[in-house]
Amino acid sequence: MAIAALIVTCNRLDKLKACWAASARVGFKRIVIVDNASDDGTAAWLATLDDPRLQILTLPANIGGAGGFRQGAHHLAAQRDIDWVVFHDDDAAPPIDLIERFAAIQAAPWQAYCCKVVDARGVPCRMNLPYVTLPQSTLGDILAPFVGRLPRLDPSRAATVGSFSFVGLILDHDVLRRTHDAIDDSLFLYFDDLYYAYDLTRQGIRIRYSPEIVFTHDVPATPGAMPPWKIYYLVRNLILSRRRFRAAPPYSVPSILLRIARYALAAIRQPARRAALHYLYRGVRDGVQGRTGRRH
């Protein structure tokens, strides 16, 4: 079983070093690192690595996580000696026995696997938990993020799910080869993995949540204030879902409005309140107008 790793990085050299140390211990056939025009010494450090499995894609401009994963997926799609591709960010670490654990669970009908993702304390990361189904249609699904309830998924049990994140995704290479253009680089950041998963499920691709494989995500136990520019992409890309999936959008209008209200409350509570509200306004405006790409 030939498995490649696909890692996207941008100006997080310290995290990338830890990510590389963990990834290099895994028996990957190939490790592709996409450098999103970092200017913190990442390119120079990558040049010092001596590993025949390593392939570096240095991009001339920062095109976001969405663009980085699309470029890396395009690169790997042409390599026919790969069976599976593992996606993860530069702040995530795969387990050393990933390949052995995956070999023990890999079976039809699943062609995509999302792994369990935990923080440094071993607590499941909410941001990386998949949804059981999409679109979210029930009142309970819509209100879940606002009442502090995790998606209706037991993080300790395997299940067929309707989404994945790009931290700990293991994807069949043939599926990647046929569908990598569906990774929407115009989003720049946020929702790119969820919308790609939605595209795949609509094509009949089955996704298995696989707690047998555990990634560690280097994120704070208690998230601090979100940078205002990130609020922009959350709001804009959420609204853009109505254009991208006109026939059956993954989010209803009430769900979108409730989520925007949550982002507005978060913006008001931030020290940089004025900037956060400004970015939120721009996100709503550009989402309604269908404006994409990098805009911060």
pLDDT single digits (tens) 243-282: 999 988 998 898 899 889 989 998 998 889 999 999 999 9
Higher-confidence residue of 93 and 250: namely 93
Contact 77, 182 (CB under 8 A): no
Whether the per-residue pLDDT at 144 is higher than 70: the answer is: no
pLDDT of residue 159: 95
pLDDT of residue 114: 98
- Per-residue pLDDT averaged across 22-27, rounded? 98
pLDDT of residue 185: 97
Q: What percent of the chain has pLDDT over 70?
A: 94
- Per-residue pLDDT averaged across 131-158, rounded? 67
pLDDT of residue 221: 74
pLDDT of residue 104: 98
pLDDT of residue 210: 98
Whether the per-residue pLDDT at 52 is higher than 60: the answer is: yes
Rounded Cα distance, 18 and 107, in Å:
31
pLDDT of residue 252: 87
Whether the per-residue pLDDT at 139 is higher than 70: the answer is: no
Name the CA dihedral angle for 221, 225, 228, 230, rounded to a multiple of 10 degrees.
10
Least confident of 25-39, 64-78, 230-244, 246-260: 246-260
Whether the per-residue pLDDT at 121 is higher than 50: the answer is: yes
pLDDT of residue 150: 47
- Measuring CA to CA, how many Å separate 62 from each of 35, 93, 102, 194, 232? 8, 23, 32, 21, 17
pLDDT of residue 68: 98
Q: To the nearest whole number, what is the mean pLDDT of the chain?
A: 93
pLDDT one-digit tens code per residue, 188-199: 999 999 999 999
- Per-residue pLDDT averaged across 71-90, rounded? 98
Helices (H), the chain: 13-24, 42-46, 64-77, 98-105, 139-143, 173-179, 192-202, 228-244, 253-268, 273-289
pLDDT of residue 140: 61
- Per-residue pLDDT averaged across 230-254, rounded? 93
**pLDDT tier at 225, thresholds 50, 70, 90:** confident
- Per-residue pLDDT averaged across 281-293, rounded? 96
Higher-confidence residue of 55 and 126: namely 55
Rounded Cα distance, 79 and 73, in Å:
10
Query: Which amino acid is it at 152?
Result: R
CATH says 3-217 is which class?
Answer: alpha beta
Name the CA dihedral angle for 248, 250, 252, 253, rounded to a multiple of 10 degrees.
-100
Whether the per-residue pLDDT at 146 is higher than 80: the answer is: no
Please give the span between the terminal C-alpha atoms of the chain, in angstroms, as a whole number: 42
Higher-confidence residue of 153 and 38: namely 38
